[in-house]
Structure 1
């Protein structure tokens, strides 16, 4: 049988036949070396009582030289022996019992008896701590913005600061100017006064008052010295409608009208007799138009405003040579300083005398407002502030008037303005001297349109 055949067994176990020569006893086969002792750290079983078997003594080298090297290969380790093929099994008598050091196919975990396994504690779920509150951005973080954005933000902040400073300065300037106005009780309160009419009506008066002027200034302005009570040379009625152009009407100072309590006389006589209140009452009764605001300016203030503006440009229609007014002007457009402008609006040394003077006054007012409300004046605080300051000091207004009321008047006159005079019917010599007579029918229609806040008919306008 296959189990008794030594060649079959050697072929099956891959063990060569024992060496030797014929007739000699077989050389004992060296035993297979045992594997190294198990390593506890690798999980191999450890048998402390087992001892490694002794190795057979190695034969001397002279026998190996004499007999020659062995003709068989060293035995294979147990782990290197291939499994038996199917169908060929070694009989139980030929099987070698498993060695105590035979390695197992499956690793066995090693348990160190010195180490005590500690009980595993069940894990408990803990809520994660809340995130810390977000800290405000530090100055360093804020400065980490792009340079262009920081520059824009920086410029915007400076713009806001500058804007606030300008607003505060403007408010402070307006309050100071309003406190510098000279206020008088100009609007009368009498029985049967004209009722309130739509729109806003101003009475502008230019007086020959010389208060505050030195003798040198009176000589420069050709005022003629002290001539008695204060009189008025310029009287204008300005009607500012709710919509539409403003109407500025010149009232001749020699107009022959009825003065309440004094009979009929020249219009400027009312100012000389009773001051602003009697003048306002006389104008209201003659025109049936209620006066809402009053403003008065003297010689010195008039010339000072013109000089503050650096002069005004006026187109003189006819040459004027008036030693009493201190002027000698050629016809044509030219720039007038303060004294020349004052003489231009006062002079009557022309063919139509008082009529030409009213026309010159309207020319002057148009040129003055054009220069005062120009962009170069309003945009330059070094020009605007002295103008507003000198104007506020030079004016006399009613107790209820303020600097913003004057600003509204100037803005209304800056736009489209209709300049005209009251319709005149002729001249006459009376006990008061040479006077101007109004055309009663036309003058009634003229002032009725203003009282109703309606445009004045064109056929009633006089240039």
Structure 2
């Protein structure tokens, strides 16, 4: 699929298939990695190629106003790539060229969607879980057959507020794609639908997968019966592990509550598939790929082992710790406690994917230039400091006073600076003969301007101006009480992510 005509597909919405969302991503992300190892045998390739079902949804998508991916090659081997991954309980009609999703290609039996982003340099990947109950803008195609909306209203309704999975149920893959692109402005280049007839075979072909539970679980609803700690589970047990909702610690009947556990399972699958124990065992690798490809429906551009191989080769240098699993940041939806809405932080996540940038908060800290700092020769306990606030922000002087006192300074005065006295940053002035003491004070205000003032007597004077930093620890401080954390939280600064290499019990 070319970048100018991205494609994707929808998933089903019955609650019973939520449990299988993890396999959708696992198959779509790791099957390509495994194909590299199997591609040497022509007979094997031909067999696997025949397993994959393809569905063309371009006619459903239409329109030239969709977002596009910049810099991606036609076969997806270079440049950023976004793949919408969905689960399905039954692909039988798809295999027969019909409709397993409802409508022309409508909705069916899955209730979670994942957006997999491959970075343009192919050094990292991000899999984003989109909660099914998110309230988002959905196109008119998202109305179900039973919705009390007239044909005229449907035709005139560009978008309406509805649950995310209503797009999948009412309008299928094309509607799901439109919903994702309308709400995120992220272009979708490919899609993959995975059914779960072969789920247990895929896990069993790997020789099982390791999972972890904080407490022993015996859940009659999902038939999950495992001890606390790490267990290696078969396909049947793995299905129960990703399905359990009601009797697993931390889940409490919530679909959101089990997303972390399912992402943990995906991490384990990635580690297992990329391990030497699988890649160097042709028998296990081929069994896994056979099960995975039999369960796979993609757009026509991906529906061949050679194309999957090229895609796999482009990510062959990626390690498990280069794969991040995240959930769209969300918050309560006040009109209905059973629904949720995307939090403002979600925009930072979508922006990072649109621009092919690291996840917010994941950029490495810039290396600090080594500087020679003169040794501090005067103890804070021997220094009296007066602090004046010229920042225009209420309370800054008293905060600095408290932070200096924690470190042993004597701070008898904290007040407002004289009118018009507002330096840039921090000014530290000192009486003649007190330079060494001033240097100790200045160490608490990195970048401070240190100035001698012969008119002063006794105390070192600190004046806070625009851009003044919070007080820092000085190397020769007194006491061990930590400084208060005065940083204001920035909700968009960090997106919580799970690495594919994380310990499964983390």
Map residues 62-77 of structure 1 onto 2, 5 A cutoff. none
Q: Does 2:333 align with 1:421? A: no
Aligned to 2:425: none
CA distance in 2 between partners of 1:195 and 1:416 (Å):
25
Which ranges of structure 1 fall in alignment gaps of 5 or more residues? 1-165, 213-227
Q: Deviation of residue 363 (structure 1)?
A: 1.0
Q: Does 2:333 align with 1:461? A: no
Aligned to 2:194: 297
Which residue of the other structure, out of 198, 203, 210, is the alignment partner of 2:84?
Answer: 203
Deviations 1:93-136 (A, max 9, x none): xxxxxxxxxxxxxxxxxxxxxxxxxxxxxxxxxxxxxxxxxxxx
Deviations 1:167-198 (A, max 9, x none): 99623422332232011124653322112245
Change (3 A) 1:389 1:249: same
CA distance in 1 between partners of 2:319 and 2:190 (Å):
15
Helix, strand or coil: the match of 2:339? strand
Helix, strand or coil: the match of 2:111? strand
Q: Which structure would you say has the larger Rg?
A: 1
Q: Deviation of residue 245 (structure 1)?
A: 2.2
Q: Deviation of residue 448 (structure 1)?
A: 0.9
CA distance in 1 between partners of 2:38 and 2:331 (Å):
53
Aligned to 1:275: 172
CA distance in 1 between partners of 2:306 and 2:261 (Å):
28
Deviations 1:67-118 (A, max 9, x none): xxxxxxxxxxxxxxxxxxxxxxxxxxxxxxxxxxxxxxxxxxxxxxxxxxxx
Change (3 A) 1:258 1:424: same
Map residues 9-408 of structure 1 onto 2, 5 A cutoff. 170-186=41-57, 188-191=60-63, 192-197=65-70, 199-209=80-90, 230-243=108-121, 244-261=123-140, 262=142, 263-317=160-214, 319-349=216-246, 350-351=251-252, 353-401=254-302, 402-407=304-309, 408=311
| Contact 1:201 1:293 survives alignment (8 Å) | yes
Change (3 A) 1:255 1:392: same
Change (3 A) 1:343 1:235: farther
Q: With structure 2 as the length reference, what TM-score do the two structures score?
A: 0.51
The more displaced of 335-344 and 286-295 is: 335-344
| Contact 2:209 2:272 survives alignment (8 Å) | yes
RCO higher in 1 or 2 (8 Å CA, sep ≥ 6)?
A: 2
Helix, strand or coil: the match of 2:41? helix
| Contact 2:201 2:288 survives alignment (8 Å) | no
CA distance in 2 between partners of 1:386 and 1:208 (Å):
21
| Contact 2:194 2:295 survives alignment (8 Å) | yes
Q: With structure 1 as the length reference, what TM-score do the two structures score?
A: 0.55
Question: What's the C-alpha RMSD, in Å, of the aligned pairs?
Answer: 2.8
Q: Does 2:315 align with 1:437? A: no
Q: Deviation of residue 200 (structure 1)?
A: 0.7
Aligned to 1:160: none
Deviations 1:364-399 (A, max 9, x none): 111112112221211121111111111111111112
Change (3 A) 1:167 1:362: closer
| Number of residue pairs the alignment of both structures matches | 280
CA distance in 1 between partners of 2:229 and 2:54 (Å):
39
| Contact 1:301 1:395 survives alignment (8 Å) | no
CA distance in 1 between partners of 2:257 and 2:230 (Å):
17
